[in-house]
Amino acid sequence: MKKEIQTANGIFTYEPVELYVGKKVLDPVISKENLLDFKKVMDKHKIHYGLWFGTLLGAIRENGFIEHDEDTDIFVLEEDKEKVFNALNDFEATGLKVVRYSDKGEYISFMRNNDYIDIYFYSKALNQRVTVDNGIDGKYLESVEMIDFLGTEFPVPNNPKEVVKILYGENWHVPIKNSKPQNISTIHSLKNVLLKLPILPTIYKKLRG
């Protein structure tokens, strides 16, 4: 059954696709092509964004996608959500089709050739999706740095190494496939927040790096 997104330009209709954690790993060639076309649309509409979660970790640690990652992650400020909505037709024109939008408006997903991109929306005041005791707040997301990723300049959060350390622990630079999070205390501090979210398994997996 088709679903609708209410935008300033009217109703946008899309065909939802069930996306399951652990179902597949991304294809780095397809994911690169998807991300480059995604970037063109984001830049055209002057949307403030940056690489996020496992995509950010891979960009900082390996200058590539993490071998066992399953999607591409992006953050966008809540204030730019309407810009994303205004760009939906342009995404569709590149073949990046909307396949998921959360009931609470927390994230939206695009898919092409069976690989997908997640956008997570955050407010400037506070990263409300992943709040930790000494964690990530708006100061890291309000401004971005540019780094080389896959041969192209991409935006990342301000002080990206500090961000990945907060998300993945002190040993973030050590690839550990299918392991528990390096920063166990941080993950435990997330428990009460994450249990209230509809996509607990997705975020937990992304924090495993």
Between helix 200-208 and helix 53-61 the angle, nearest 10°, is 10
Encode the chain (209 residues) as per-residue pLDDT tens digits. Answer: 899 999 988 999 999 999 877 778 999 999 999 999 999 999 999 999 999 999 999 999 999 999 889 999 999 988 899 999 999 999 999 999 999 999 888 899 999 999 999 999 887 655 444 433 335 667 788 889 999 999 999 999 999 999 998 888 888 888 766 433 343 334 333 333 333 344 444 554 555 55
Rounded Cα–Cα distance for residues 193 and 16 (Å): 26
Q: Which residue is associated with the tokens 């979660």?
A: 53
Token output for 185? 């205390």
Q: Which residues contact 185 (CB under 8 A, 6 or more apart)?
A: none
Q: Show the domain range for 99.
A: 3-208
Q: Which residue is associated with the tokens 């907060």?
A: 166
Give the model's pLDDT for residue 9: 86
How many structural domains does the chain have? Answer: 1
> What are the C-alpha distances in Å from 31 to residues 8, 120, 140?
30, 18, 25
β-strands 49-51, 72-77: how paired?
Answer: antiparallel
Q: Which residues contact 77 (CB under 8 A, 6 or more apart)?
A: 48, 121, 122, 123, 124, 141, 142
Give the model's pLDDT for residue 125: 59
Give the model's pLDDT for residue 159: 92
Rounded Cα–Cα distance for residues 136 and 166 (Å): 7
Domain of 91, CATH number, reads: 3.30.460.40
Give the model's pLDDT for residue 135: 52
Give the model's pLDDT for residue 21: 75
* Burial (0-12, 13-18, 19+ Cβ within 10 Å), 51: buried
pTM here? Answer: 0.82
Give the model's pLDDT for residue 208: 55
Helix (H) or strand (E) holding 55: helix 53-61
Give the model's pLDDT for residue 179: 39
